[in-house]
Each structure stands twice: as C-alpha cells, then as structure tokens.
Homo-oligomer: A and B are copies of this chain.
Amino acid sequence: MTPDSASPEKPVPDALLDALRMVVGGGNVRTGEVVTAADPGWNPDNFGAGIVVAPGSTEEVAAVIRLCRDHQVPVVPQGGRTGLVGGSVSSPGQIVLSLARMNTIERLDPIERVAVVQAGATLEALQMAAAEHRLEPGIDLPSRGSATIGGMVSTNAGGIMAFRNGVMRHRVLGLEAVLADGSILSDLTRVVKTSAGYDLKHLFIGAEGTLGIVTRVVLKLDPLPRATATALFGLPSVGAALETIRLALDTEAGHLRAAEALWQSYIRLAASAHGWSEPDFPLDQPICLLLSLGGANEQALHSEFERLFAEVLDRFPETTGIIASSKQQEIDLWRLREDTDVIYRTHPASPSYDVSVPLSEIDAYVAHILQGLSAIEPDLEPYLFGHLADGNLHIALNRRGPLPERIAGAVETVLYDGLRQRGGSFSAEHGVGSKRIHSLLTTADPTKLEAMARVKATLDGQTIMNPGKVLPQKPQIQPRLRRRNA
C-alpha cells in the first residue's frame, strides 16, 4: 500500500539487527511473530516492515539512526499508530522506530505553565498530569488516549481547541530532534519569545518524521478552567452557526472552548446509532453546533448560554437548543460528535477527507461539494462535521471504501480543486502521509513543492527518514516539480 511497496527491497541485514540490539537491548528489537501479532493501529501496514526497534533515550535514537544510515536502511518513526493518512506505514527492508518507551513527562512546571515531554507520552497522560496543577495542554482531540505528543507534533495535530489556541505548532515552545546524520538538534527553550536564528523546529513540526525524529518537546500549558458547560444549538444555516460563534467569542463570563458543527445527515446517523433523542430537539435543522464554555463558575456559564441562546433566537427564530444539565448529558452530547466510528460501522472504510475552508467560504463550499458529488452519482452524499470555528470540515462519504479509481479522482476534483486559491487547504489536520501525496502534488504551489524538495534533500540527502511520506520517493520528484531557471 505504500508508494514504494512495488519496488523489491533488500532485506534488513542481520549485522544491523545485531548492532541495534547492542544499542537498545535485545528485547527492544522485535521481529517475526511478536510484530505480526501486535495491533498495527489504524493502518494494517504500520508494521509492514516486520521489525520494530524501541530506543529508550534520545542518544539511543541517534545511535539507531546512525546505524541505519550506515546500512542504508530507511527508518519509519511511530507514535500512537492512529494517523489516518498512512504516515507511519512501513514495508520490508525498513525498520519501524517506536517511541513507545520514551513516554516520560519530564517536567511540569506550574509557575512557567510549561511541560517538557518525551515524544512517546500520550496526550491523555499529559492532560492528566497537567490537570493536577489545574493546567491543560490547550489542545484536545478524540484520539487523546492513543495519540502521542511526538506524533501530534510530527503531524501538526489540530483538534477541538485550535480556533482559540492554535494547532500543535502553536503550542510547541521547544523541541529536540534527531537528524538524518544522527546528530541531535537541541532547541529546548521554555519561553515563547526566541529569535535566536532560523526557527528550525517548525521544519520538524508537521514533517511526519521525514526530516528528523522528534524525541522531546516543550509545550505551553494554559490554566484549566474551574467549570465548563456544554450546549447543543440547532440552527438554520452555516451563516447562523458562524454568527453564533461570533457572539460566543464575545461572552461576558467565561470563554468559548469548542464549537463543533454536525450537519443534519451526520447527527441523524450518530443519534440513531446511540439511541439519542431529546423531546425539545428535533433533528431537522440543517446544522447543529456543539458549544463548550469554560470559566470560573458553572452557574455563570449556564446563564451565559441562556443569554447567548436568547440572542441567537432573536436573530434566527428557528433556533433550537439544549444546555446540558448533568455530566452525563454533557458526555452524551460529546459522544455524538466524537464517536465518528458510527460512519465506518455503516459504511466500512468510508472514503474520508479533511479540509480547511475560510469561514466566509464555507457556505459556498458545502453547496459546491453537495452539487458536485451528486453530479458524480445521484445519491453520493457526504456526512459533514468538524471544527466550524476554524473552518476544518471532516467529510465522509455514504459509501463503502475504497472507491473505484475513476470516482475517487472525480471526488477529489470536487473537494480539492481551487481550494488553495480560496485560502483553504486540502489537508487540515491529518497530514499528507503516503495517502495524500498525489493530492499535494496536484494542488500545491510549485514553488513551495520545489522548496520542500530542496529542504528534504539538504537535510536527508540519502532519504533515510520515513521515505515516501509527505513527498514522493526521490525518483518520482523530478518529473513532477517544475524546474526554474537557477
């Protein structure tokens, strides 16, 4: 399934395996049945290499990289293996480098509001550790229990709070990475302001391990509010939902923490799957908005929601709403949004997409894709949901996947064509991995692609680091990239 799986690869030499065992300890180089029997995570090819090496320190990661470089064996780093675009798939002739043993939260400083975390720690572990000091990482996503900090940095994860706090890139103060030559780039500042030369850590954030392996991260933390409140509004249009968000950003008490949109077809599916219903909340609105407020006191937040509801109702009389009055009701509402597996249970391997659309363009974009999809096949429809306040829409089709190639291409044309020119992005928060390289090459600015290839060549000239991800393998680059007079 990886772009390189067709080309026959040399097997990993035994001499390398022996040397790796010397570095990380025999039990931390796993091969054979131990690997094939392990849970590969979201993608069955994650363990395709059949060899998993788990270093215990940055120095061990560096030694592993030097050995693999000497043997010309590519390295595929892995975190939680819950990426959706094949960024951690591997194939024979490669080794998987697991960060699982490097999962220590090394520092959590309530005065600095900063955490220093090894790459293999999960988001949930960090959230729990930070909560003890009434702090939070300021980033949250449904896969919090499996997603690792290193994986989230490498894919520049986004999630629910990005409209307010930015994406992972905006939470990273410092970073340590092992480069392709085995050297260690150490930039572990614990401050937000640093102008000490090019800020190269941003090259590694979102590079999916293709430029270096992130081993340690310094993250900014925010105060965890004492109280939260949740509400679900049913609204007549995207415009009404955006206006609701605008008003909710301007609350008197507390602050907006989440504004998740669930279009009608998706909330109907989710509600039906979970047997969820509320007498005063018929599921006949075009769009629903799941809102969360955080603040000092729950009663004030409930009053704020009531004030907000009255204000929205005044502008859009069709508006309906529920304010969760118990923890259980809050959980039930969030399950409607977060348990998106309901789609895949109904449509196994449903083709799914992850786009960013500037807020003022969402209405037109949704109309465009509805029309475009139905032009491909009359009953081809999307389940739509996502992070409305930052324009990140998740789109899953009412089809079993994978689609026939002709239809898949037509769907991508409808979804992606012109999106960059509108100010959006064909990949919002899932990355490029191996699955979306073609789409990147088709839609990206040629100057950017060429600069990416140059940066890759200068930092990983031998293509040891996660080859065939983000950018195609070397031989495929040249014909695709526009040459410029040098």
User: Given A193-B167, A358-B114: A447 and B179 within 8 A (CB)?
Assistant: yes
Most chain B CB within a 10 A radius of its CB, from A195, A424, A440, A470? A195
A390 at the interface (CB under 8 A from B): yes
- A206 B195 Cβ-Cβ under 8 A: yes
CB of A191 within 8 A of CB of B360, answer: no
| Cβ A356 vs Cβ B194 within 8 A | yes
Contact A458 B448 (CB under 8 A): no
With A179-B447, A206-B199: A191-B391 Cβ-Cβ less than 8 Å:
yes
CA A97 to CA B429, docked complex, whole Å: 37
Q: Tell me, yes or no, whether A166 is within 8 Å of chain B by CB.
A: yes
Task: Tell which of B111, B185, B420, B455 touches A198, judged by Cβ atoms closer than 8 Å.
Answer: B455
**In this complex, what residue of B is CB-closest to A454?**
B458
Does A205 interact with chain B (Cβ within 8 Å)? yes
For the complex, give the distance between the alpha carbons of A188 and B183 in Å.
Answer: 34
How far apart are A437's CB and chain B's nearest CB, in angstroms?
A: 9
Please encode chain A, from 145 to 180, with 1 for each CB lying within 8 Å of some chain B CB and 0 for all others.
000000000011010001100110110001000010
| Contact residues of A between 378 and 435, Cβ < 8 Å to B | 387, 390-392, 420, 423-432
Binds B, one of A245-253, A264-272, A325-333: A245-253
Whether the pair A112, B360 counts as a contact (CB closer than 8 A) is yes
B255 engages A184 (CB within 8 Å): no
27 contacts between A and B (CB under 8 A): A109-B358, A156-B199, A166-B192, A167-B193, A174-B423, A183-B484, A185-B447, A186-B447, A189-B356, A190-B358, A191-B356, A191-B390, A191-B392, A193-B428, A195-B427, A195-B432, A196-B420, A196-B427, A196-B443, A196-B444, A197-B452, A198-B207, A198-B452, A199-B206, A200-B452, A200-B455, A223-B250
